[in-house]
Structures are given as structure tokens and as C-alpha cells.
Amino acid sequence: MMKISLPYGKEKLTADLDESILNGVLVSQIENYDPQKSQIDIVKEALLNPVDSPGLRELAKGKKKVVIIASDHTRPVPSKIIMPLMLAEIRAGNPNAEITILIATGFHRLTTKEEMIQKFGEAIVEKEKIVVHDSGDADSLVKIGTLPSGGELIINQLAEEADLLVSEGFIEPHFFAGFSGGRKSVLPGIASRVTVLANHCGEFIAHPKARTGCIEGNPLHTDMLYAARAAKLAFVVNVVINSEKDVIHAMAGDCGSAHAKGCEFLKSLCRVKAVPSDIVITSNGGYPLDQNIYQAVKGMTAAEAAVKLGGVIIMLAKSNDGHGGDSFFKTFKDEKNIEVMSERFEKTPRNETIPDQWEAQILARILLKAKVIYISAAPAAMIREFQMTPAKDLAEALSEAREYLNNDQARITVIPDGVAVIVE
């Protein structure tokens, strides 16, 4: 027997699997990477060696209004390490700079003060000016152009008025943007929901290049990078983290080329070959990425790439925050025919995209390929509305999967962290 362990909230769930039916365990090589430097030194070195850009303190000289875009509560960005170093560099170049930290909530709920303290620490929350972006607050937004796709480019006015716009973030595989980080700080990070909806349209989500680990030819990425350039995002500090959320690599500099170099580094470690199986077990990497069902769709796409047609995906996601999106939930509550739902999304015009359509579209695509058994703390009735089967633990989920397949010897692939790998 082989013991498997998968992150679940702030804990881990384990199970013993018969090795004779275990096809493989797909893991990123990130855990084997030893940077041989402290997290602080890694970020400092990146700041001192920016890619295709002057240093942050040089950029800050003579700039009055400086805005730092920071990720929100759904992202495990080690801001307690990154933000103090960025603030110090800016003030070293311009002690009188008026600095605002702008929380990039994108289409998520607003970040609470308690979550900000957890993210930045009490000192920064108490001393610095922090504004939480609200994509639906028209009074705080301004149009700055049109995206290549034709959608209106509307962003937070604080960013548009900044003399210097910079951002922090982290790079991980992303299920339709290719990778997180870099340009995503602007779109969807501080964009209007009108802009996000146009970019996340059914046509783009269905595009064959809108997949994990793919940037070249990805129409969503094209829009996102354009938005970052149009917003004059001058400098980014992006890190790569391991499963313990520790920094193992950092890139700083131009929002395009520094991000691209970070993506290449990550790809060299997290690309894995699919091992097709009847059952694929995965997770969303634990807290904070598994707080709701909406976010958990990301991890499911890794399993989607490895499960056989008609097979079973067992997904572990604590989901203590519930479904994570009212429109996302309503879509599944109101439409029980997955095929009809999927076809409707692809035919919906770009400027008529509804909130959370992209997440529903991808989950529908997954459900058309495989049955999903969902282990969580969310109400069982809620899980069933999404046409998934609730389970309380791995033992129950495996029993349900084998009964569904009518095969006690069904082959199994395990992907301990579905958001940490690119399954090809």
C-alpha cells in the first residue's frame, strides 16, 4: 500500500492506495528546487537585477503619486516579504512619494481588514494607505482605451492617475490565462467588470490556446498584456512559491519580459506528462486557493487533462466560503442540461458575457468529460446543484467512484496539487 497526502484547507487528507492500481503521482519539481538563499534575499536580488527596466528606486525619483497593485485574499502571495522591500526601494528613490496600495480584487468579493492584516501584517495595514478595488463601482473607474478584442478598457482611477504604477504578485499555472502574475495585476486585477466580462468571453474560454501553461497565441493573454501596457504598469515583482508558500524564485522589471522569464522558470519545474486513468484525485493546493467552489475549478482542469472520458475526478477543496460566486451558482441552479449550457456560452457575444460565465463554462466542459466527486465543507445540497457528488472524505469518494465505474480495480492517478502542475 502507498499513503497519499493532499492539501485540504490548512490541513491534509490522506488515504492508502494499492500500488498495483496506482498509475502515477504527478507532482511539480518545485519541491526539489533549493534556491540556497533566504526568501528575503531572493526578492532583494530580483529588485537589484530588474529585467528590461531601471530599478524601482530609480523609477520612483521625481514621482509624486505611486500606486502598488497587490493581490487579494484569494492568492497566497507572500506580501509580508515582498511589500516591505518594495516600499523601501520606492522611498529610497523618493522619500516624499505618496504611496497607495491598491488591492486587485478583480471579480472577487472585497478583501476585509482582517484578511489584509493576515496578508501584509499589522504594521503595513495601520501605516500605509490601502484601497480595495471594486470592479462594480463606476465612480472609481475610468476608461483608458479599447482592448485588441474590442472590449472597453476601464480601470481603477487611482491607477490611471498614478505617476508610477507597479505591482507585486506570484506566478503559477493558470487554467485559461496560461499563467498568473505580471499583466493580470491590471486585467482582471484592477479592471472594471465590464472589461473583465469582455475579456473572459465564451469565445476566448473555448479557444484551444486558452489553457494551462499556454501564453503564445492565447487571446486572453493578448488582451491582458495590452491592458497592462495601456495602464503604464512600469514594474512588477513576481515570485514563484512552493507548496509551503515559501519564495523559491523571483523576477522583477518589465511587466512583459520579466513575467515571461518567470513563466519559463516555472514551466521548467512544473510540466508533467499526463497518465490517463479511470480515476484522478486532485486538490486546489489547500488554503487560500480552496476557499470556494469557484476557485476549485482551476485544480479540476489538471485532473481533466489526465482522466479518461467517462471517468471520475475526485476533487478536494475545503470550500468553507461556499460557492464563491452568485452568478456561478445561479447558472447551475437554473440550467440542468450541461450540453445546452455549454453551447449557450460559446454562442454568447463577447459584450454580453455574464458574471462568472467563464468558470461555469470550464466546469461544464469538465463535467461533460467526467463525473466529479467533491470533498468539502460546503453543504451537500450546494455541491449537488453543481451536478457534482458530495463526499466527506477520500474513503467515501473512492467507494463512490468505484461503484459508479462498476470496477473495484479502476486505475488511479493522483495529482496532489492541481494548480501547481501543467499536465500535458
Instruction: Tell me which residues are annotated as active site.
Output: 108, 174
Checking DSSP bridges between strand 271-272 and strand 11-17, what pairing results, if any? unpaired
Burial class (CB in 10 A: 0-12, 13-18, 19+), 140: middle
Output the nine-digit C-alpha cell for 45.
Answer: 536580488
Cβ contact 305:175 at 8 Å: no
329-344: b or e for each residue (b if 16 or more CB lie within 10 Å)? bbbbeeeeebeebbeb
Element (H, E) at 300: helix 293-304
Which has the closest alpha carbon to 70: 170, 174, 153? 170
DSSP state string for 187-221: TTTTB-HHHHHHHT-HHHHTSTT-STT--TT-HHH
Nearest alpha carbon to residue 409 among 312, 278, 315, 313: 278
For the sheet with 129-132, list strands across it.
129-132, 98-104, 65-71, 164-170, 233-241, 247-253
Q: Is the peptide bond before 76 cis (omega within 30 degrees of 0)?
A: no
The position carrying cell 508610477 is 164
**Got the DSSP string for 98-134?**
EEEEEEE-TTSPPPPHHHHHHHH-HHHHHHSEEEE--
Q: Which residues contact 351 (CB under 8 A, 6 or more apart)?
A: 150, 151, 197, 198
